[in-house]
Amino acid sequence: MLFVLLVGACSPLLAQEADERIAAELKQASSQQLVELLGADEYPTREAAEAEILTRGEEMVPLVQAARTSPDLEIRIRATNLYQQLLTRLRNDQLKRFLKMDTSVELPGWKRFQQQNGDDEATRKLYVAMLQREWDLLTTMEQQPFLIDYLFFQRSNKLSNVPRFGGQAFEINEGSAAAMFFVASQADVRITQPSMDQLRYLLAVPQLTGDLQDPHSNKPLLSVFENWLKANIELGRFSSEMRYIVLSTCMRENIPSGTLLAQQILADRAKPSSEDGFVQLNMGINAEQQMMFAMLALAKLGSQKNIPEIEAFFDDTSAIQSQLAIGEEFGTELRDVALLAVLHLSGEDPKEYGFSRLANDPTYLYNIRSIGFLSNEERSAAFEKWQQAQKQKQEQPDKKS
């Protein structure tokens, strides 16, 4: 009985010694031999071969990758698992070195991103977050750009699948948001209208709002967003509905580049064929209302340099839809909004010009229901007062001389 107990106590030690002996022998084995030993008859040998392959790391990747199609089932299964482990380890090592500003690390899409957004610790931190969440998307952009539209649509659709009625609250990482904006800002990557329109849901996610407003980390994300905005204005990828949604986002988050989109809307209106670019949106926003929001965006986000392009609409008597008004007699014309925007940019008090019912709004600068006049007489008086004020300003230098 004592003999049996002694043997039982020694067997773990013997097994450990055997494992250590096998591991030592395998250190002398070639890379190809290690892969073949994944299918060895003895379980300890298979385990030791696997451990040695993981130890050798990057040099084993090509052989392990090829072994995934081995006719030996055991080798095939182990090689498949090992390949994923090796890639994960190598990727994590690359990302750690990358965050330490190692310029020798090459990551998919980084050169493009660096050219557009610069290179510092905060920018690299965001790019790592992008890769960790959207590695396949960024890799596809570089290696198989012809597939990007399909993958982009599927991914953005999944990200925007927010539970509307109960269920777990939807959360999105800033890495995913930045990756979607980055990919959709590339001129040489084809993004169709349905795919681009999927981003309208992403823009409404509270987490994105919080990330854009965070003063400690918003600079890189804001840069990506602004590059996406500028690129798609130039490429003409925004539908009328998307333009309104993006413009509202810029006003809500106080993003200065929203003025570019507002300027485009005004410029399109001034074209002879402007009706082609202005359609009734599904959300009930018509052409005049789009113009109203564009003017308010310039007032909120722009500067006095924008005044001339707004003043060009001082003669536009187009009526804003009546449901936006606060009474049957109260009316709003497009020129009213133009005057209000110019007054704001000029530092004038709109109420002194007849906008007596005007109320502020945190997003749109002014409550759109409070813009307008009770009569044409009030309206005419407001414009006349503005013209007189400008005339007096022009005459002031002459009086001093």
Q: pLDDT by residue (tens digit) across 152-186?
A: 999 888 877 654 444 444 557 889 989 999 999 99
Average pLDDT of the segment spanning 186-209: 83
CB 251 within 8 A of CB 220: no
Write down the pLDDT at residue 329: 66
DSSP 353-395: GT-TT--EETTTEE-GGG-SBSSHHHHHHHHHHHHHHHHHHHH
Question: What whole-number distance in Å separates Cα of residue 74 and Cα of residue 46?
Answer: 9
pLDDT at site 10: 46
68 — phi, psi (to 5°)? -65, -15
| Helix and strand counts by DSSP (H, E) for the chain | 19, 2
Residue 178 confidence (pLDDT): 93
Residue 164 confidence (pLDDT): 45
Tokens of 161: 């699948």
Q: Give the pLDDT score at 159.
A: 78
Q: Looking at residues 46-64, what average pLDDT do you find? A: 90
Task: Look up residue 184 and give its amino acid.
Answer: A
Residue-level pLDDT at 397 = 62
Give the pLDDT band of residue 212 (cuts 50, 70, 90).
Answer: confident
Token readout for 71 is: 């006719």
Select the more confidently predicted residue: 276 or 223: 223
Please list, residue by residue across 362-379, b when 16 or more beta carbons sit within 10 angstroms of its beta carbon and e when fewer do.
Answer: eebbbebbbbbbeeeebb
DSSP H helical segments within 302-333, as ranges? 307-311
Average pLDDT over the chain, rounded to whole?
85
Query: What tokens does 219 get?
Result: 């600079």
Q: Distances from the Cα of 59 to the Cαs of 54, 55, 62, 64, in angstroms? A: 10, 10, 7, 10
Alpha-carbon distances of 247 from 117, 200, 370, rounded to whole Å:
22, 11, 20
| Closest to 158 measured CA to CA, from 200, 204, 198 | 198
- Asked if 316 contacts 339 with a C-beta cutoff of 8 angstroms, the reply is no
| DSSP per-residue codes, 195-214 | HHHTHHHHTT-HHHHHHHH-
Asked if 99 contacts 107 with a C-beta cutoff of 8 angstroms, the reply is no
Q: Which of 136, 144, 177 is nearest to 159 (CA)?
A: 177
- What percent of the chain is predicted at pLDDT more than 70? 84
Q: Binning pLDDT at 50, 70 and 90, where does residue 28 land? A: confident
Phi, psi of 287 (to 5 degrees): -60, -45
Residues whose CB falls within 8 Å of the CB of residue 277, separated by 6 or more in sequence, listed in order: 240, 268, 269, 271
Q: Which two tokens stand for residue 249?
A: 């986002």
**Percentage of the chain modeled with pLDDT above 90:** 59
Dihedral through CA 281, CA 285, CA 291, CA 295, nearest 10?
A: -120
Is 21 a residue whose pLDDT tops 60?
Answer: yes
Quote the pLDDT of residue 330: 79
User: What is the model's pLDDT at position 372?
Assistant: 92
Residue in this structure with the two tokens 């967003």, named with its chain if needed: 225
Maximum Cα interatomic distance, the chain, rounded to a whole number of Å: 122
3-class secondary-structure state, position 172: coil
